[in-house]
Amino acid sequence: QKEVEQDPGPLSVPEGAIVSLNCTYSNSAFQYFMWYRQYSRKGPELLMYTYSSGNKEDGRFTAQVDKSSKYISLFIRDSQPSDSATYLCAMISNTGKLIFGQGTTLQVKP
Amino acid sequence: EPEVTQTPSHQVTQMGQEVILRCVPISNHLYFYWYRQILGQKVEFLVSFYNNEISEKSEIFDDQFSVERPDGSNFTLKIRSTKLEDSAMYFCASSEDGGTADEQYFGPGTRLTVT
């Protein structure tokens, strides 16, 4: 079983739609969960960072962690064409290295 | 805003040649990382570095790879004898204290093409 699994998409939505991106993971020891955004040919950029279970909101973005199901989500409200990118979920191991999902490519059409 | 920089942005090399990828981490950061991303695949951890020593390395990071902090600002990844399968984007990252709650800041990457 892969440590982190994420549907690569692509996901195409109209502008203004609510987007839901998800990852599952296998290691119950993970405590810190991140979402990175990566534009084409650029480095990953941290978008959201959550600890343990629960929700965290930042503007149009909400990150959700369900540790009992080993499932994390990122919701984007009122999606914009500028949100078109690849979204990577990641967890930090106890040694500090990041373990990434495959990344989901999102396209928001005007 | 401080950022991680990487040079070159694109490196083309022939199989068997040595390459050095360069990174300038954020100045007050103490932990440094290299990750790579083969086209269409996930970002993978290669190595972490702290206090002039490797803290952790992945299975990918074999004897052909080495890292160095030659001075107070640069952090380099050397591949001694490149293979076709080393073609990938290589990302450098740095963090302030390396803890599990600490954000890693990524550079823009170096695209390595091995022919």
Per-residue pLDDT of chain B (115 residues; tens, 9 = 90+): 789 999 999 999 999 999 999 999 999 999 999 999 999 899 999 999 999 999 999 999 999 999 999 888 899 999 999 999 999 999 999 999 877 678 899 999 999 999 9
C-beta atoms surrounding A105 within 10 Å: 16
B98 touches chain A (CB under 8 A): yes
Output the pLDDT for position B103.
87
Chain B residue nearest residue A96, CA to CA: B100
Q: Which residues of B touch A42 (CB under 8 A)?
A: 108-109
B73: CB partners within 8 A, 6+ apart: B24, B25, B27
For residue A106, give how far its alpha carbon lies from the nearest alpha carbon of chain B (Å): 14
Distances in Å between the Cα of B10 and the Cα atoms of A3, B67, B75, B87 are 31, 19, 17, 11
Tokens of B53: 């020593």
3-state DSSP call for residue B86?
helix
Q: How many CB atoms are closer than 10 A to CB A31?
A: 16
Residues of B within 8 A of A92 (CB-CB) are 100-101
Neighboring chain A residues of B104 at a CB cutoff of 8 Å: 46, 98
3-state secondary structure of B46: strand
CA atoms within 13 A on the CB side of B32: 28
Give the pLDDT score at A102: 93
Provide the sign of the torsion angle of the four alpha carbons B106, A12, A90, B63, taken in this order. Answer: negative
| Residue A90 confidence (pLDDT) | 95
- Averaged pLDDT of chain A: 93
Q: Does B106 reach chain A within 8 Å, measured CB to CB?
A: yes
Interfacial residues of A (vs B; Cβ cutoff 8 Å)? 31-32, 36, 41-46, 49, 51, 88, 90, 92-103
Alpha carbons A101 and A93: distance in angstroms, whole number: 13
Task: Please judge whether A96 and B99 are an interchain contact, meaning their C-beta atoms are less than 8 angstroms apart.
Answer: yes
**Is A17:A83 a contact under the CB 8 Å cutoff?**
no
